[in-house]
Amino acid sequence: MPINSPLHAFSADEIIREVEQQGGVYGLYLLSSKPIYFGSSDEKQRGIQGRLLRHANGDEGPCTQGAFLFNVEYCDNPVEREQELLDEYKAAYDGEFPQCNDIDAMA
């Protein structure tokens, strides 16, 4: 099941305003709402908010800076949930990863 939360403009101000500092997963999207990246919180950042701010600031590489929209899902198992999202995407798009996850060569 995809992330079923509202899409927000991908900007540092919107991330700070809309995202809590909790664990979970997030999606980054083009204006067409096509996903370009699915990610999860990790122990180094302060939940999803910290990770999204790293993307917005370019600290996660140039690919995700092309996003226009984002959404989030809070959960207790972010790594497993991220893998579910990637598996669902691959099933829907002939085995392809979202363009920015493909750079990570995730399996």
Please answer whether residues 19 and 72 qualify as being in contact, where contact means their C-beta atoms are separated by less than 8 angstroms: yes
User: What pLDDT is stored for residue 104 in this prediction?
Assistant: 52
- Considering its fold, how many domains does the chain have in total? 1
Residue 79 lies in a domain: yes
Q: What token pair was written down for 16?
A: 């700070």
Residue 3 lies in a domain: no
Residue 2 lies in a domain: no
What range defines the domain where residue 27 resides?
Answer: 8-103
Please answer whether residues 70 and 29 qualify as being in contact, where contact means their C-beta atoms are separated by less than 8 angstroms: yes
- Burial class of 99 by CB neighbour count within 10 A (0 to 12, 13 to 18, 19+): middle
pLDDT band at residue 105 using 50, 70 and 90 as cut-offs: very low
Q: Which CATH number fits the domain that encloses residue 43?
A: 3.40.1440.10
pLDDT for 106 beyond 60:
no
Q: What is the pLDDT of residues 7-66, one digit of tens each?
A: 999 999 999 999 998 999 999 999 999 999 999 997 655 689 999 999 999 999 999 999
Residue 56 lies in a domain: yes
